[in-house]
Amino acid sequence: MKKKPYIKKQLHELLYQALETERGGIKIYEAALSCAQNEDLKGEWQEYLEHTLNHEQLLMKVFETLDLDPNTITPGREVVAHIGESLVAAMNMAKAKGSPADAQLVAGECVVLAETKDHMNWELIGHLAEHGEGEETAALKTAFEAVGQQEDHHLYHTKGFTRELWIESLGLPAVLPPPEEVKTVESAIGAARAENQRDDMLQS
């Protein structure tokens, strides 16, 4: 497929939002870790926090290469920051008003919400790096190749943990760690296959 010129202003908007997502993600994982009760989940989130710190630094290198000011505020970036702050506030509320198990569920849902945006940011960065025609694509490709698989892991594994913890809270048999973790899922197709195998895993 022939590469196409891209709208530079909108790419820069995506990068501002992506940087804000990573910075908010650091705070979200710190709050989520304070809610985590399951040791396997706690270990996963500690690893994801370290990844997120690294992803922020990778984006800072992109900003330096593209000569962008990482402190530039756009309306879209303000929205991303507000959502991140709201997710942290939600976890703090859950800790203050609910049981530890309830707070852990809220934290799982907050991480899934945050990682959904984060995952989409990097999908778009990777798409532009592959299909866009312009001088900035090399820096984007380098960053995406370092991050893409980790973002898949963050989203699908946390979604699996949160689903199974909810099932456990309902008094039904749960698979913990979840099938996504056991099968080392790294894609949407892999996540769907792993979830479909959970009943077999319960019987084994």
SS3 31: helix
Rounding to the nearest 10 degrees, give the CA dihedral for residues 186, 188, 189, 192.
Answer: 110
In this structure, what token pair is assigned to residue 27? 């705070």
The pLDDT tens digits along the chain (204 residues) read 678 889 999 999 999 999 999 999 999 999 999 999 999 999 999 999 999 999 999 999 999 999 999 999 999 999 999 999 999 999 999 999 999 999 999 999 999 999 999 999 999 999 999 999 988 999 999 999 999 899 999 999 999 999 999 999 999 999 999 999 888 878 887 778 877 888 778 776
The conformation of residue 183, written as its DSSP 8-state character, comes to T
**pTM of the shown model:** 0.94
Q: Return the structure tokens found at 147.
A: 């991050």
Q: Write the DSSP string, 103-170.
A: HHHHHHHHHHHHHHHHHHHHHHHHHHHHHEESTTHHHHHHHHHHHHHHHHHHHHHHHHHHHHHHHHHT
96 within 8 A of 104, measured Cβ to Cβ: no
Going by C-alpha positions, the residue among 105, 97, 90 that lies closest to residue 174 is: 105
**SS3 state of residue 7:** coil
- Which superfamily is assigned to 4-148 in CATH? Ferritin, core subunit, four-helix bundle (1.20.1260.10)
